[in-house]
Amino acid sequence: MYPYFGRICVLVILFQYTCEENMKIEYHDEKKEVPLQCDPPIKSTIIVWFRLQENGLEFLASYTSTGQLKQNVYRHIFSTEKIASNILTLKEFQKARDSGVYSCASFINNMLNFGKATRIQGHRDLKPTIKTMLTTNKLPRLNITTSNTRPCPCQAPTG
């Protein structure tokens, strides 16, 4: 078995627990910049960012407590200009790609201390609704009169 497998399992379990207990939810428009704020409860020398999506957990970036970037896996997607203030910026939100739960954690004595998690997602797709109204107008009553000069053959003349 790989030596990091146990650590990864613990990480996933802790991250999911953190998300359920302490999560704020934000809705964003497509192609807008999204600042993600996360303050680890305990500062340490290394702070890491994670994203949890339906397909799994992703490592996003790591930096030192002084704000020095150590690694940014998705440079084309995330900006780390404000990382010293614990803000990772999503450059251009895309609902399908970026919706998920984001959090950071600090490493202390082989332990992860998670900050508050944030779920970001796009606004719900509004399906157009077509309202149809059924209106019925009362038709005018037709008065039909017939004039027949011949007597009806079915009736015998009275007399």
5-14: long-range contacts at Cβ-Cβ below 8 A with a sequence spacing of 24 or more? 11/57, 11/112, 12/57, 14/112, 14/114
The mean pLDDT of 143-157, rounded to a whole number, is: 63
69-92 per-position pLDDT tens digit: 888 778 899 998 998 889 999 999
SS3 49: strand
CATH number belonging to domain 5-122 = 2.60.40.10
Q: What global pTM score does this model have? A: 0.66
Question: What one-character-per-residue DSSP string does 28-44 give?
Answer: E-TT--EEEE---SS--
**116: DSSP letter:** -
